[in-house]
């Protein structure tokens, strides 16, 4: 092992971020983003920073798992072999894997190791991960929350179209199917047939209800039906996918590469929405993306646009980047979006320039 790339110190901090807008879906409200940041320092004086998140609960549990168990297991090891280090973390946490808290802890460390890798080699994450696309189209979610009146949905969709974005996501799950249909029809009429409209139920429906609602959505030319059912209902997703022409989008609530494999093999998913934090980091994210490629399934990752832009643009089957700004308060960098297309940052590491002073202001004691 090289003594110059040994992990000497790992810093962990928790930062709270308030959403820029009220966010309500069919199952929950986005109270705050608990952002767990990890900085890995090596003996050659380099460092890399990564992060993961929750939407209001569990942040301290993630931090405890990192500081109490994963940090001691990683100190002194060579920081370069990210695959071996990810497997080592797995071996140390067999009793809590697969699970959300463990995956989120892995992700913060794994992302830091990839950032460190890029800074050492002078390569961007986009290039290290494949560099398949120089840009990807963007769709907006921030104007489509479930609590918004139909007039606001229409205004938000028009603004997104005027800005050149390629689509909008509208939350569904109103008490009656008629309400959902009315809201979607108003948006479709406002933006025309060429502008993409996605829908997201946030796991609200039974299989029977999802099949029923999908039939209402079909005539509106919906781009995909996201999280229609609880994520562990593989059989229900397979039934739904077989019953509708609307692609079924799944992935933000799946926490292992193997579970994605189950969905792909069953024909239960038409759009893979793997979340780099919830899958456990960049290392497993790439496995999921390439597994989807093997099944000729597109990848449109969930949330975390500042990080996902580099990953989605790196793989051949990258489809869209979701526009939900969330790191502006603690970063000095911003994504370049022109004519509805986003360009991945081509600078060493993961491409996020953290603002130390802003992090101090938002840090949880």
pLDDT in tens, 281-339: 999 999 999 999 999 999 999 999 999 999 999 999 999 999 988 899 999 998 989 99
Strands 298-299 and 321-323: unpaired
Reported as a single tens digit per residue, the pLDDT across 91-125 is 999 999 888 999 999 999 999 999 999 999 999 99
Q: Return the percentage of the chain with pLDDT > 90, whole number.
A: 88
The answer to whether residues 14 and 132 belong to one domain is no
Nearest CA among 111, 113, 129 for reference residue 276:
111
- The pLDDT value given to residue 3: 64
pLDDT band, very low/low/confident/very high, at 2 (cuts 50, 70, 90): low
pLDDT of residue 247: 98
Assess whether the previous peptide bond of 98 is cis (omega < 30° from 0).
yes
Is 117 in the same domain as 172? no
Residue 192 lies in a domain: yes
Same domain? For 109 and 168 the reply is no
Write the DSSP string, 330-352: GBS---EEETTEEEPP-SSBSS-
Tally of CB atoms within 10 A around 45 = 8
Q: Stretch 192-196: mean pLDDT, rounded?
A: 96
Question: In terms of domains, do 53 and 199 share one?
Answer: no
pLDDT in tens, 18-48: 887 777 777 777 778 899 999 999 999 999 9
The per-residue DSSP string of 224-248 comes to: -EES-S-TT-HHHHHHHHHH-SSPE
Q: Which pLDDT does position 142 carry in this prediction?
A: 86
For the stretch 88-100, pLDDT in tens is 999 999 999 888 9
Q: Which residues are tagged catalytic?
A: 171, 302
Q: Looking at the structure, tell me whether residues 178 and 326 fall in a common domain.
A: yes
Q: Which residues contact 261 (CB under 8 A, 6 or more apart)?
A: 291
Query: Smallest Cα–Cα separation from 169: which of 207, 190, 195?
Result: 195
pLDDT 10s digits, 240-273? 999 999 999 999 999 999 999 999 999 999 999 9
Same domain, 90 and 159: no
Task: Tell me the pTM.
Answer: 0.95
Note whether 98 and 234 are same-domain residues.
no
Residue numbers of the domain that contains 32? 6-122+357-362
Pair of tokens at residue 297: 């399934």
Q: What is the pLDDT of residues 39-79, one digit of tens each?
A: 999 999 999 999 999 988 999 999 999 999 999 999 999 99
Within a domain: 238: yes
Rounded-to-integer distance, Cα 330 and Cα 60, Å = 19
At 145, the pLDDT band (50, 70, 90 cuts) reads confident
Question: Is position 58 within any domain?
Answer: yes
| Length of the chain (residues) | 365
Query: Is pLDDT at 81 greater than 90 in this prediction?
Result: yes
| 105: in domain | yes
Same-domain check for residues 132 and 269: yes
State the total domains in the chain.
2
Percent of the chain with pLDDT over 70: 99
**Same domain for 205 and 107?**
no
Rg of the chain over Cα atoms, rounded to whole angstroms, equals 20
Asked if residue 269 belongs to a domain, the reply is: yes
Q: For residues 190 and 207, what is the distance between their CA atoms, to the nearest angstrom?
A: 30
Say which CATH number the domain at 96 has: 3.30.390.10
Q: Is the pLDDT of residue 173 over 80?
A: yes
**And the tokens for 274?**
């793997």
**Which CATH number fits the domain that encloses residue 244?**
3.20.20.120
Residues 162 and 111 in one domain: no
User: Do 112 and 188 share a domain, yes or no?
Assistant: no
**Residues 92 and 199 occupy one common structural domain:** no
Would you say residue 1 lies in a domain? no
């Amino acid at each position: 092992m090289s003594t110059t790339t040994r992990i000497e110190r790992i810093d962990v901090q928790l930062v709270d971020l308030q959403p820029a807008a009220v966010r309500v879906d069919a199952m929950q409200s986005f109270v705050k983003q608990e952002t767990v940041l990890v900085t890995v320092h090596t003996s050659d004086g380099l460092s890399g920073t990564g992060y993961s998140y929750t939407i209001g609960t569990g942040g301290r549990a993630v931090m405890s798992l990192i500081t109490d168990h994963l940090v001691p297991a990683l100190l002194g090891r060579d920081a370069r072999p990210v695959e071996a280090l990810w497997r080592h973390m797995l071996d140390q946490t067999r009793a809590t894997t697969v699970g959300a808290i463990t995956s989120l802890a892995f992700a913060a460390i794994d992302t830091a190791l990839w950032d460190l890798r890029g800074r050492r080699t002078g390569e961007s994450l986009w290039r290290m991960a494949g560099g398949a696309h120089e840009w990807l189209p963007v769709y907006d979610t921030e104007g489509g929350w479930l609590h918004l009146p139909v007039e606001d949905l229409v205004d938000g969709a028009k603004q997104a179209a005027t800005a050149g974005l390629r689509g909008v996501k509208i939350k569904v799950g109103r008490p009656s199917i008629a309400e959902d249909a009315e809201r979607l029809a108003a948006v479709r009429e406002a933006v025309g047939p060429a502008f993409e409209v996605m829908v997201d139920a946030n796991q609200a429906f039974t299989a029977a209800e999802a099949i029923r609602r999908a039939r209402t959505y079909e005539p509106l030319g919906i781009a995909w039906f996201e999280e229609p059912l609880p994520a562990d209902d593989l059989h229900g997703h397979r039934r739904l996918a077989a019953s509708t022409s609307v692609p079924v989008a799944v992935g933000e609530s799946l926490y292992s590469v193997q579970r994605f494999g189950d969905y792909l093999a069953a024909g239960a998913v038409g759009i893979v929405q793997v979340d780099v934090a919830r899958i456990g980091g960049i290392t497993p994210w790439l496995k999921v993306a390439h597994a989807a490629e093997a099944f000729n399934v597109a990848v449109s990752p969930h949330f975390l646009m500042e990080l996902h832009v580099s990953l989605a643009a790196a793989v051949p089957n990258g489809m869209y980047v979701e526009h939900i700004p969330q790191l502006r308060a603690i970063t000095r960098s911003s994504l370049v979006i022109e004519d509805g297309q986003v360009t991945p940052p081509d600078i060493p590491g993961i491409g996020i320039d953290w603002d130390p002073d802003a992090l101090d202001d938002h840090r949880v004691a």
